Amino acid sequence: MVPVDYMGQALSLARLALGYTSPNPAVGAVVVKDGLVVGLGYTQPPGSRHAEVVALQQAEDRARGASLFVTMEPCCHYGRTPPCVEAIVAAGIAEVHFSMLDPNPVVCGKGKAELEKAGLRIYLGERQEEAFELNEAYVKYITTGLPFVTAKMAMSLDGRIATRSGDSKWISGEKARQYAQDLRHSVDAIMVGVNTVVADDPRLTARSFSDRGGRSRKQPLRVILDASGRTPLTAQVFKEPGDTLLAVGSSCGPEKVEAFVKAGAEVVSLPSERGLVDLQALLKELGKKEITSVLVEGGGALLGSFFDSGLVDKVVAFIAPLIIGGKDAKSAVEGYGVDKVGQALRLDRVRIERVADDLLLQGYVSK
């Protein structure tokens, strides 16, 4: 008989929480008694119940003597909610399996120690890599104060994101575009450069937004890098639900700043050089706003600046079976680049899958 993968069930539940829990981690929990699942839960929006408490409340008295499978170490401190460790002990759980320690310094290892002190059996590390990847943005944010940066691009087989005339609709297919919308749903912020706003007038919304189980959240923050204040006041980003932040430089005068504010945007003035906003300073500002994840969508100049600065954590690239050609066609990544192939940024943990006729390549920048 094949053993039941309870931790796999917990990970599936955790994925349901993605996009709703930031700046908290997305966690799933399963309570098992005598081989039967008696409680299921995943993290609710900030200030509400954690996964363990949801599952324990569903299990009720059946939690006594049961096993708890949870994707991250239960918290042991008072925040916006009481410690999950206390709830687990009070419920009479006999053993706890969790995939990974919580990297938050106020929890890391302490929740495990308190459970052991209370006499519970502890099992650590089951499907740890999957749990870590699911909360990779939380891990970076809680340990550095900076958001996790994903560079997303959709390009032709020859690396172009638009023709020489600027036409870019549509390079990737419908299923790839839907995948990209789901990716937007899971992040705290979507970032583009002003050239993309001027050329394409994008809405920068997560159009696949769904109200899962009666829950709702705001659209991801729209972030536009615009050193000199060229964003048109008629741009779609000012008309869509959710918030827009413009990162401008010293060359953006007070009249333009005032106009952007009247249009409904927040404006952050940052150091700039050669017409480019200081990206490191911007990420620090976003971290202060509890933005844990940023999806950088381009264009090529912005992506090039992020790669040149060594600030990209992950790459998500859709490659369409198209040949655009032309020396003046826009490239997916511009910037300064490198002098020699040996200096090129390499990706680790690469995954490739087919999305209809497109290829999806994902990987992490070697650091």
- Active site members: 52
Residue 172: DSSP 8-state? S
Q: Which two tokens stand for residue 272?
A: 């700039």
Q: List for the chain the helix, strand, coil content (%; round to 5).
A: 30, 25, 45
Q: Which two tokens stand for residue 294?
A: 């940023």
- Residues in contact with 341: Cβ distance below 8 Å, sequence separation at least 6, in sequence order: none
CA distances from 23 to 111, 137, 190, 229, 343 (A): 19, 9, 16, 30, 35
Q: DSSP secondary structure string, 88-151?
A: HHHHT--EEEESS---STTTTTHHHHHHHHTT-EEEE-TTHHHHHHHTHHHHHHHHHSS-EEEE
Stated as kind and residue range, the H or E segment containing 17 is helix 6-17
d(CA 93, CA 121): 9
Question: Would you call 305 exposed, middle or buried from its count of C-beta atoms within 10 A (0-12, 13-18, 19+)?
Answer: buried
d(CA 313, CA 298): 15
CA distances from 343 to 92, 241, 339 (A): 56, 42, 7
d(CA 307, CA 330): 17
